[in-house]
Amino acid sequence: MFHRLKNDFRLSIITLLGISGLVGITPFAVLRFMQGNLLAGVVDSAILGGIASSMAYAWLTGDTRRTGLAMAIISSYGAVVVGSIVGDPGLFWLYPCLVTTFFLVGPRIAVGINLSAILAMMVVGLAFSSQEQMWSFSTTAVVVSACAYVFAHRNHSQRRRLEQLATIDPLTGVKNRRSMDEELDVAAANAERSGLPYALVLLDIDHFKKINDEYGHGVGDDVLTELVALLESNTRRSDQLFRYGGEEFVLLLPGVDGVNLRAVMNNLQQVLRKYLKHPGGPVTASFGVALLGHGESVDSWLARADNALYTAKETGRDRIVYAEEVGQPMPEPVPRAAG
Ligand SMILES: Nc1nc2c(ncn2[C@@H]2O[C@H](COP(=O)(O)OP(=O)(O)OP(=O)(O)O)[C@@H](O)[C@H]2O)c(=O)[nH]1
């Protein structure tokens, strides 16, 4: 349970706000019934029920996106109904809701929910004892929403930037090794479920150190970016390229095996031979290729591709070596899905 709370930010917010809502609203629901205000008591109880069932749904299904939206709507419009029934004291409930919507949904949706709730409160008009009170409330509620929006928007873009810094290689713009680990896990799980074949290619530029030493690091960097451009423009959109480290890259190719895989690999090798150049001439690369076996771990898959690459380097470079050809028995292939 603590593990889920620690790793799922939205679930932890839903739980925190849900528990705060239940603890904060329950005494008022009891009070309304004791005061004989049945309608307000029933509305408070309905809000409590909505919050509790949303929280349970989020925990059971993990669908925190829909739950966040449901909780934002229930709490904001619930506050409007309560304000309209009990008047002044109910107005204050909208303020925490205006802020918490930004924790539950994206900034734009939160602004939409907030403005429509403020407008609804004004149109119904029952919560206010005077025009002045209505306009004071509406103006301060809009100011609170605007400030919360600016803060949430900044937070959102900073999080996106951090995600980018953590997952993208700054020189070439392709995903880094950290993203690769995640994507390979996803691919292995998908292969078991759907029966789709997956090929993994480890690619390493030949004699790259010499290029750096003779022409400088700037030229080496240009070769790396040119390699990425060539690979990206000669593979499918569903293929994924990662920088494994230094001058080594990983290509993840879903849906290809057998003759098709060999055709793809031969084409890539030809393209690099023809177009990848440094000031002294062409640049070549060596390739180690491994198809994911049935039930095989990602580590074993990578290790087989790495062994194949090692063989390609040892046997002269500028070569494509398939793992099953270098004395590594290919694990049983992933069974194809029926149909
Ligand atoms: N320009 C540049 N060089 C890099 C970068 N990352 C790693 N390198 C260099 O890549 C070179 C890799 O050299 P080696 O591992 O000896 O490999 P190699 O010279 O390609 O030899 P083989 O792989 O055996 O053909 C080293 O000189 C690193 O400094 C980078 O981002 N930019």
Annotate 165-180 with DSSP letters as a single string.
HHHB-TTT-SB-HHHH
Q: Is residue 320 a contact partner of residue 265, using CB atoms and an 8 Å limit?
A: yes
Query: Ligand 1 mean position to 261 CA, how many Å?
Result: 27
**Domain map (residue ranges) of the chain:** 2-167, 177-325
Looking at 125-250, list the stretches that DSSP marks H as alpha helix, in order from N- to C-terminal side: 131-167, 177-194, 208-215, 217-233
ipTM associated with this complex: 0.95
Nearest CA, atom 5, ligand 1? 246
SS3 155: helix
Strands 285-291 and 281-282 come out as unpaired
Phi, psi of 256 (to 5 degrees): -125, 140
Is 183 a residue of the active site?
A: no
H-type helices in the chain, by residue range? 2-7, 9-34, 38-61, 64-86, 88-91, 94-104, 107-124, 131-167, 177-194, 208-215, 217-233, 258-275, 298-314
Q: How far is the CA of 205 from the centre of ligand 1 (A)?
A: 8
* Torsion angles phi and psi, residue 231, rounded to 5: -65, -40
CATH class of domain segment(s) 177-325 = alpha beta
Answer whether 169 contacts ligand 1 (Cβ < 6 A).
Answer: no
pLDDT in tens, the chain (339 residues): 777 877 788 899 899 989 988 998 999 999 999 999 999 899 999 999 999 999 999 999 989 999 999 999 998 998 898 888 888 777 888 899 999 999 999 999 999 999 999 999 999 888 898 999 999 999 999 999 999 999 999 998 998 899 889 999 999 999 999 999 999 999 999 999 999 999 999 999 999 999 999 999 999 999 999 999 999 999 999 999 999 999 999 999 999 998 999 999 999 999 999 999 999 999 999 999 999 998 899 999 999 999 999 999 999 999 999 998 876 656 666 676 544
Among candidate residues 183, 226, 247, 314, the one labeled active-site is 247
Tell me the pTM. 0.70
Judge if the beta carbon of residue 209 lies within 6 A of ligand 1: yes
